Structure 1
Amino acid sequence: MTSPLQILAQYWKHTAFRPLQEEIIQSVLQGKDCIALLPTGGGKSVCYQIPGIILPGVSLVISPLIALMKDQVDALQQKGIAAVAIHSGMQKEEVKQVLLDASESAYQFIYCSPERLESPLFNEYLSLIPFSLLVIDEAHCISQWGYDFRPSYCRIVETKKKLPSIPTIAVTASATPLVLADIQIQLGLLQPSVFKQPFIRPNISYSSFESESKINKILEILQKVPGSSIVYCNSRKQCKKIAEAILLQGISADFYHAGLNQLIREQKQLSWIQNKTRVMVCTNAFGMGIDKPDVRTVIHHDIPDCLENYYQEAGRAGRDEKRAFAVLLWQQKDLTELIQNGEKKFPPIPIIKEVYQSIADFLQIAVGNGEGIYYDFDFNSFITHFKLDPLLVVNVLRILEQEGHIQFNEQIFLPTQVNFSTDTETLDQFEIMYPSLEPLIKALLRTYAGIFYNRISVYEQTLARICRSDIPTITMQLKQLHTHGIIEYLPRKETPQIHFLVNRAPAQFLHINQDHYLQRKKLNTERITTIIEYASLSKACRSNFIGQYFGDNSTVVCGVCDHCLDNKRTAISEADFNQIELLLKANASNGINTEVLMREIKNISPKKIWTVLNFLQSENKIIISEEKRIFWQFKNQ
């Protein structure tokens, strides 16, 4: 059998594993359940992908985001490894074909959203597919005590019960001890092996600045530190504004957020990955699943609402293990706003019910209807019509998700759907009459199996490449075929959508688990307090602070964060200390002015001198008058 190290060398071109990777892989290969808590950039995917390659069957990987699944599948396919993703943008026939192929071992990896696990079609094929490994990626989503709870994750355990003879591996980068324990309970893991890497990233220098002009500070950092960079912002408008300001300084920059269409997002992302764009200014919609090792700086223009998010985003720096910088910028008003937004994140239950009623009115859903239906949701029209606070609405949608009523995704992408609505004889005649459309017809029939009888997802970019055309022309020709009655054409959707999981309830009877809701609210307040404490931390090591938050009490000072570097700069040698002390004693009778002291001792920095003065003052050995004159206290010698 090929060894894990040989697989690593063959597909990843590495000659050695990172810490704990090999131990985790061996545990999985021995058929044991395990939980792997590895920091961002710690190589989590390798820990289950290598066993998935070695084991004889199919690995089922549960992942929360379509974009994350797509990046992982693309990366595996580029290595020549058979992988596929099943997501909400696919039609029933497409999913059925994937599952049928999987039952014949056509794939080594199937990536799947937790919602898809519950579909009758998936369960129909579950026993037919030779699964050998169950992987839960972003496993912290299973805990309602975590920062990113997804109710659909709680139902993964039902699938696990149907696959009792295969090992389970749950992986995450950001779980506190409370969440880690909950992962084990929710998945029903009995005595799993738990692997935890230290949270300290020795090559990342963390720093935090209270800054009057954030854009000037960003420009200063980018001018001092060359190389690829990410700048995170909370608003889409701010992304564009900051990218333009950076461009004005002659630094290559672009902006990215979920409001851009998918093709533009992919083009921007590729340009940044290829280093054609140096700085990506973005919302947190950017970065998940992207493995770019040479990011030198991650700058947060706005403070995230929890340390988990900050750690994950900052961890996208320095994955090549070379020196990198994670910088948090803030102002006092940001901290006040963070606390206020925390209150909006968990509004009173009567307010939740009012917003729920407004959503039902806006979408025109009667009581007892809506289950299983996707509704286009024009967010801006909704908040304008009902005069609601945007942040409040986003948070209510998230709460309704967590309570199992709906699914909401502002980044949803439903591909173009096509199926032929004519017979073969008519189609042959049409091709003769309209020869300019023949290449597209042939491309559709040859590329997408079953499209003549079933509605299939098609991709304009693929068709444009096959037809040696461009996307606008392909889109126009699809519309022409639809107009002539040759195909049924449903254009791609990128509008936000609400999916009702259960029928719409009367608002006054909307079920919300009040005890759990209030507990989540309390934990959220604690997370906000922690990120504020991190931002305004004085003197203590930032890496050590992060590690302790995540339960890593073994962390030592990193030596490279802003405070550790500052402490090194102010470290006083015994000789320097004695020199200052002797000069103070020599001028004990009349005292000495601090400015004169600084001039007399030129070989020691003013900062170090003040460190000594503060120490001596705290020991009651000196008195510093209001006129900044220092007097030695002989009685305390």
Structure 2
Amino acid sequence: MTALETLRKYWQHDAFREIQDEIITSVLDGKDTFALLPTGGGKSICFQVPGMMKDGICVVVSPLIALMKDQVNNLQKRDIKAIALTGGLSQDDISDLLDNCRFGNYKFLYVSPERLQSEWIVDRIKALPVNLIAIDEAHCVSQWGHDFRPAYLKISELKPHFPKIPFLALTASATDRVQTDVITQLKLDSPNVFRKSFVRENLGYMTYSTEDKLYRASQILKKYPQPSIVYVRNRKSCVEVSEQLKTLGFTATFYHGGLHPKDKEKNMNTWMNDSAQVMVATNAFGMGIDKPDVKTVIHIQLPENLENYYQEAGRAGRNGEKAFAVLLTAPSDTAMAESQFLSVLPDKEFLTKVYVKLCNYFQIAYGEGIESEFAFNLNHFCAQYQFPVIKVFNALLFLDRQGVLTLSQEFSEKITAQFIIESKEVIRYMSLNPQDEDILLAILRGYPGIYDVPASLNISVIAKKSGRHESEVYALLLKLKERQVIDYQARNNDATLVFNEVREDERTINRVSKYLEAQNRSKHEQLEAVIAYVSDNSRCKSVQLMAYFGEKTDDCGICSYCISKQKKASEDISVSEKIKMLLSSEDLNSRELENLTREPSNDVIFALQEMLESGYITIRPNNKYTLSKK
């Protein structure tokens, strides 16, 4: 069966997208291959088709647990046997799955790079009939990439054991520097390199400075009523902007990482089925999203880096029709972005403190803790140690990417409470315990139905309204439960934390601190590139963006710069035409031309200079202009 026949049989497509077939041919020829396919380029087909055509099993290394699950589910729906070694699996579970891979005729094994940190898993993989090793999100191999994960460096250790098996490195965003580093770090053997152009000819990149971003966004959404995405900075903005757009008459929904899976699916389907025009989302939205008719993608805050911006903007216009990626800016954005992205970066000292406190929090002794798994509430942990939440989250995310621990990222509040005594008894309790009154009043005012049904409490809001610390709110809820004043359910399973190494405190942090310094340095450089992009209004936006990715291109003709240039040229022509008409009757000086054309002085002077240089007019000794040919 040929590659095209395989594509038709399992994926029901009649043709490959640009360069997919060339990549597949390279892999089938047994060649190491590096493929740069921008967002929407169809990376998975490049390893799934040859994986199905060759005897044995394709090992796919991917950092995204949700994406692994999604791809495994999609393969299983096509009656293709696939397995993913995701988090939360015991050693026995993993061993059984790997046995299935060896003896059960499975075609795909998805594994995170952190799993390759375990020698016994690597040994088991070496015993499999591997036909291809595909490395997705390969830019993570490079410390110069925007998402460096040292665990990826372990992949190269598989190379000597599979000398005749092709390695396929895939990424949607890599500069020339990152590409070279990926090839070196993975030890690819004279790889065939395929790069699909980053140029999206149908996508107009727009940057507009405005004080009222919501109003400008609403103007754009009214002009283009097709499906749209509005990217915002955080979960709170998701809900707020979505509600604001609804009050302006738009149909809108929202999506962020803290939503319950059922709500994610419901909101996603609402937008995918065109029941809502606008999806307001954080950067948690987008993975695996393929809605071809998105007309506009609007960012109302600066993105963290141009790699992410390109991928998010690229979700517009996948049907090939003209579409727009709009970035709205305001004078305060640079300071806000630096506060959001740079001030919350953990340094070595902070990282060490968080790691030690985390071990103490779960009572892990020095030299112990490997493979330990815990339910984890980020807000509760931060409240107990009075840590800033976002900075701690970044520290945990960094430790996750280094393989020190594995963190699932569902951080929605799951705390419910209901008063089980009468209201007059609650008032009596407050009079006897005045130190608790401010917190209780904040709860009663914020949740008036809390006597009748359990209410989902937002601890941070209660703390803010009562002027108390979150840890004090938690402590009071526990006390009220013990005294049978309330029925209190604290489901501390917002997230799951798995410790992948024994606790060694500073020794652990010292080992990864050089990567932390490189990451922080890289994030500073990336934000500087974003600021330069929005600040430079003297060049085509597409030219600027492509230059960042090492690609040269001509002016696009449809970005904010190109349109403003065309508009100016159009206006210049109209001024010139007016001048020609006036000078065809009589000679006039510049002041007279300004009065008669009713055009701005600068525009008239510019047009006169152009006409003089072209020889269409001349200036007489009396300072009046005349047509050269009448």
TM-score range, shorter chain: 0.7 to 0.9
Following the alignment from structure 1 to structure 2, what is the Cα–Cα distance between the partners of residues 50 and 213? Answer: 48
Aligned mates of 2:109, 2:289 — CA distance in 1: 19
Contact kept in structure 1, 2:87 and 2:406, CA below 8 Å = no
- Pairing of 1:157-168 with structure 2 (within 5 A): 157-168=156-167
Alignment of 1:211 onto 2:197: no
C-alpha contact 2:230 2:299 (8 A) present in aligned 1: yes
Shift of the alpha carbon at 1:166? Answer: 0.9
Distance 1:123 1:184 in 2: 21
Mean alpha-carbon deviation: is it higher for 202-211 or for 498-507?
498-507
* Offset, 1:6: 2.6
Aligned to 1:147: 146
Q: Which residue does the alignment assign to 2:299?
A: 300
Normalising to structure 1: TM-score of the pair?
0.77
SS of equivalent to 2:163? coil
Question: Does structure 1 residue 170 correspond to structure 2 residue 169?
Answer: yes
Quick one: structure 1 residues 280 and 576, their matched pair in 2 at CA, closer, same or farther if it must change by over 3 Å? closer
Quickly say closer, same or farther: Cα 1:509–1:99, change in 2 above 3 A: closer
Indicate the residue corresponding to 1:480 in structure 2.
none
Give the secondary structure class of the aligned counterpart of 1:511: helix
> Quick one: distance in 1 between partners of 2:107 and 2:604?
64
Q: CA deviation at 1:550?
A: 0.7
Alpha-carbon separation, structure 1, partners of 2:251 and 2:334? 31
State the partner residue of 1:374.
373
Q: Secondary structure at the match of 1:332?
A: coil
Report the CA distance between 1:24 and its aligned residue. Answer: 0.9
Helix, strand or coil at the partner of 2:30: coil
Paired residues in the alignment total 540
Aligned to 2:569, what secondary structure does the other structure show?
coil
Paired residues for 1:94-133 under 5 Å: 94-104=93-103, 106-119=105-118, 122-133=121-132
Q: Which amino acid aligns with 1:57?
A: G
Cross-structure match for 2:399: 400
* 8 Å CA contact 1:71, 1:290 repeated in 2: no
In structure 2, the residue matched to 1:544 is 543
In 2: Cα distance, 1:618 partner to 1:504 partner? 74
Q: Is the 8 A contact 1:372 1:500 kept in 2?
A: yes
Matches within 5 A, 1:193-342: 193-342=192-341
Structure 1 residues 576 and 215: CA distance shift in structure 2, 3 A: closer
1:592 corresponding residue in structure 2: 592
What SS does the corresponding residue of 2:237 show, helix, strand or coil? helix
Gaps in structure 1 of 5+ consecutive residues: 414-490, 600-605, 622-630
Aligned to 1:35: 34
Match of 2:569 among 568, 571, 590: 571
Partner of 1:164, secondary structure, is coil
Letter matched to residue 390 of structure 1 = V
SS at match of 1:591: helix
Displacement, 1:201? 0.9
Superimposed CA distance per residue, residues 540-562 of structure 1 (whole angstroms, 9 cap, x where no aligned partner): 22122111101112x22222222
**Cα-to-partner distance string for 1:399-430 (whole Å, 9 max, x where unaligned):** 434555333332499xxxxxxxxxxxxxxxxx
**What amino acid is the match of 1:592?**
E
Counterpart in 1 of 2:503? 504
1:628 match: none
Q: Once the 2 structures are TM-superposed, how far is the Cα of residue 511 of structure 1 from its aligned partner? A: 0.7
Shift of 1:88: 0.9
Aligned-pair distance for 1:82?
2.8
- The 5 Å alignment of 1:486-497 reads 495-497=494-496
Opposite residue 206 of structure 2, the aligned amino acid is S
AA at the equivalent of 1:252: T
**Equivalent residues of 2:210, 2:328 under 8 A apart:** yes
In structure 2, the CA distance between the partners of 1:122 and 1:595, relative to structure 1 (3 Å rule), is farther
Partner of residue 21, structure 2: 22
The residue number in structure 1 matching 2:471 is none
Shift of 1:138: 0.7
**Per-residue deviation at 1:26?**
0.8
Distance in 2 between the 1:505 and 1:92 partners?
A: 22
Q: Is the 8 A contact 1:27 1:34 kept in 2?
A: yes
- Structure 2 distance, partners of 1:412, 1:124, is 35
Distance 1:561 1:32 in 2: 39
| CA distance in 2 between partners of 1:515 and 1:122 (Å) | 27
* Superposition deviation, residue 572 in structure 1: 4.8
* Matching residue's letter, 2:369: G
Aligned-pair distance for 1:283?
1.3
In structure 1, the residue corresponding to 2:332 is in which secondary structure?
helix
Distance 1:180 1:269, change over 3 A: same
**Counterpart-to-counterpart distance in 2, 1:71 and 1:128:** 26
**Cα gap change, 1:351 to 1:271, in 2 (>3 Å):** same
Whole-Å Cα distance in 2 between the matches of residues 518 and 592 of structure 1? Answer: 65
Tell me, yes or no, if the aligned pair for 2:377 and 2:493 is still in contact at 8 Å. Answer: no
Residue type of the alignment partner of 1:30 = D
Aligned CA distance change for structure 1 residues 204 and 575 (closer, same or farther; 3 Å): closer
Is 523-532 or 88-97 further displaced after alignment? 88-97
Which range moved further: 285-294 or 92-101? Answer: 92-101
Contact 1:591 1:632 in 2 (8 A): no
1:8–1:50 CA contact under 8 A, matched in 2? yes
Q: After TM superposition, list the pairs within 5 Å mapping 1:447-596 onto structure 2.
A: 495-507=494-506, 510-511=509-510, 516-553=515-552, 555-572=553-570, 579=577, 589=589, 591-592=591-592, 594=594, 596=596
Q: Deviations over 1:293-345 (max 9, x none)?
A: 22222221222110011111111222222222211122222211212344324
The letter of the residue matching 1:591 is R
Q: Which residue of 2 aligns with 1:460?
A: none
Closer, same or farther in 2 for the Cα pair 1:277/1:128, shift >3 Å? farther
Shift of 1:236: 0.7
How has the CA–CA distance of structure 1 residues 613 and 40 changed in structure 2, closer, same or farther, with 3 Å as cutoff? Answer: farther
Kindly indicate whether the alpha-carbon contact (under 8 Å) linking 1:344 and 1:395 is maintained by their aligned counterparts in 2. Answer: no
Rate the CA distance shift 1:261–1:514 in 2: closer, same or farther, 3 A. closer
Q: Which residue of 2 aligns with 1:76?
A: 75
By how many angstroms is 1:568 displaced?
2.5
Q: Distance in 1 between matches of 2:574 and 2:253?
A: 50
**Closer/same/farther in 2, CA of residues 595 and 239 from structure 1, 3 Å limit:** farther
Distance 1:93 1:541 in 2: 56
> CA, structure 1 residues 144+579, in 2 after alignment: closer, same or farther (shift >3 Å)?
same
Q: Which residue of 2 aligns with 1:353?
A: 352
Q: Secondary structure at the match of 1:284?
A: coil
Cα offsets for 1:465-494 (capped at 9, x unmatched):
xxxxxxxxxxxxxxxxxxxxxxxxxx9985
Greater Cα offset, 166-175 or 516-525: 516-525
Tell me the residue number matched to 1:64. 63
Structural RMSD (CA): 3.3
Shift of 1:51: 1.3
Code of the aligned partner of 1:567? K
Q: State the secondary structure of the residue aligned to 2:343.
A: helix
Residues 119 and 399 (structure 1), Cα distance of their counterparts in 2 relative to 1, 3 Å cut: closer
For residues 612 and 122 of structure 1, the distance between their equivalents in structure 2, rounded to whole angstroms, comes to 75
Offset at residue 590 of structure 1 (A): 6.7
Q: What is the TM-score normalised by the length of structure 2?
A: 0.77
Helix, strand or coil at the partner of 2:558: coil
Deviation at residue 577 of structure 1 after TM alignment: 7.0
Q: What is the rounded CA distance, in whole Å, between the counterparts of 2:602 and 2:590 in structure 1?
A: 20
Question: Quick one: percent identity of the two aligned structures?
Answer: 38
Distance (Å, rounded) in 2 between the aligned partners of 1:494 and 1:232: 28
Partner of 2:424: none
Structure 1 residue 536: Cα displacement: 2.6
Q: Secondary structure at the match of 2:301?
A: coil
2: CA distance, partners of 1:147 / 1:597: 54
Deviation (angstroms), 1:538: 0.7
Deviations 1:554-592 (A, max 9, x none): x22222222222223333599757546657986654723
